[in-house]
Amino acid sequence: MAAILVVEDDPALLEVAVMLLRLNDYIVTGAQNGEAALRHMQANTPDLVITDIEMPILDGPGLIRRMPVQNKALTTVPVILLSGLSELREIARKVGTPYYLSKPYDIDALLRLIKKAMSEKTPPNPSQRKVG
């Protein structure tokens, strides 16, 4: 079973996202900001990170920038960005991830994107700025 780390500052949204993904047979951990996510990843390397963009303490792009600095193993982890920001595509381009979904999104679309990210395994790469 694949391990997913979900990073979302809205506790109600985090709770239901974790529940939903667990029902879909993923091993899921939740974190309420980028710092908490990094703490979890000190000892754990998830197969996928799903993160919101705007969060207190450390935001989504900040988390993505610090992942490879913290742990070399995290350089291969794909990241899905989820956000209601109109600049989502531009932010995804900047951090170099091809995986993003605009809130509110269809749950099946998220599940399909998770499968795509898991099979392609393309990690964020700010120098490669093409997004799908």
Partner 1 sequence: MTLNENLFRSIVEAAPIGILIQTKGKIEYINDLFLRWLDADAKTIREQAFLSIVHPVDRNRVNQEIESADEFGRELPTTVKLLTASGETLTVDLTLRLLRGSAPDGRDYVIICAINTEGRIAEERAMNSLREGIVALVTRELRDPVQIILMHSHLLLRFIAAGVNVGPASSIYGIQKSAIRIGQISGDMLDTFMLQLKKVPLHKEPINLSLAIAGAVERLRLQENFGPIQIHVEGDIPMLNMDPVRLEQIILNLLRNAFQRNPEQKGIEARIRLSGMGILISISDNSDPIPAEQASRIFDLGTQLKAHRFDFGLYIAKGLIEVHGGKIWLEPGTDKGNVFHVWLPTNP
Choice between 69 and 107, CB closer to partner 1? 107
Residues in contact with partner 1, shown as a per-residue x/- string from 13 to 42 under the rule CB under 8 A: x-xxx-xx--x-------------------
Choice between 31 and 41, CB closer to partner 1? 31
- The stretch near partner 1 (CB under 8 A) out of 31-39, 59-67, 81-89, 117-125 is 81-89
For 45, 58, 111, the CA distances from 122, given in Å and listed in that order, are 15, 23, 17
Burial of 102 (0-12, 13-18, 19+ CB in 10 A): middle
Give the DSSP letter of residue 72.
G
- The stretch near partner 1 (CB under 8 A) out of 28-36, 57-65, 68-76, 79-87 is 79-87
Is position 105 an interface residue for partner 1 (rule: CB under 8 A)? yes
Burial of 71 (0-12, 13-18, 19+ CB in 10 A): middle
